[in-house]
Amino acid sequence: MSPSDPTAANDDSRLDRLLTPEEQARFVGIASTLTFPDRGQPVYHEGQLADALYFIERGMVETSCQAEEGERQIVAFLHPGDLFGLFENQRYVNTARTLAPALLLRLPLDALHRLLAEDAQLQLHFLAKAAHDLRRSQRQLIVLGRQDVRRRVASFLLELVQHHDTYDPDTGIVALPMSRTDIADYLATTAESVVRALTLLEKEGLIQRLSPKAIRLLELKRLMRLAVF
């Protein structure tokens, strides 16, 4: 899979795809299953005592940091196969919330720590996943820093294209499970500016808004030229 082809679903990022069947068994062995039937349910809050990591089986999750007043920065939109639960000094550094009905695996830290300490091969996969997340965070850094809102929105759309659960290559339609405000909090702008950027991209013929939560991509190549790779 070429990293520069955004239409290729990005399975490298899925931790479970990296694991051998035996590793998966040990991994699942320490996990408990959590079901979140609704959208918008909190998994944990910033500052809360961290006792587990979470793995997404189905659904989507956002992790965010809340500043004092209304200021919220969404750090990541997470898809099936992603791992989350970053902490510092035993406390979660983000707030995690479901964006859609979700099925999560809960991995208690003590059991996970024991597992990784006695299985260096499995741990290497966690290290690879961490490296992947670091690259993703750095890419987001560049998107926020170096691009106007129109390009940021283009980069965001192409990010969704990478995932099976938000893109149908046959129809060219991306699903946007999150609200305009969520997108704005992710791209460090406002809901209005996101809408204005979408309007612009539509006028340019690059996309077509089918509904607020479904957008058809008409010119993938021209979108890619706008985005960060």
Residues that bind a copy of itself (CB under 8 A): 3, 65, 67, 71, 73, 75, 86, 88-89, 93-94, 113, 116-121, 123-124, 126-127, 130-131, 133-135, 137-138, 140-142, 144-146, 188, 228
CA distance 62 to 40: 9
Neighbours of 154 (CB within 10 A): 24
Torsion of CA 163, 214, 207, 165, to 10 degrees: 10
CA distance 158 to 174: 9
By CB under 7 A, name the one of 44, 150, 160, 201 that touches DNA.
Answer: 150
148 binds, among DNA, a copy of itself, none (CB under 5 to 8 A by kind): DNA
Tokens of 94: 């983000």
**Vertex 209: Cα angle to 73 and 193 (nearest 5):** 35
Sites for DNA among residues 50-69 (CB under 7 A): none
Instruction: Report in angstroms how near the CB of residue 184 gets to DNA at its nearest.
Output: 8
Binding marks (x or -) toward DNA, 169..208, rule CB under 7 A? ----------xxx------xxxxxx-xx-xx---------
Neighbours of 88 (CB within 10 A): 8
CA distance 118 to 103: 28
Instruction: Report in angstroms how near the CB of residue 5 gets to DNA at its nearest.
Output: 27
Please say which residue, 75 or 96, places its beta carbon nearer to a copy of itself.
75
**Interaction of residue 149 with DNA, rule CB under 7 A:** yes
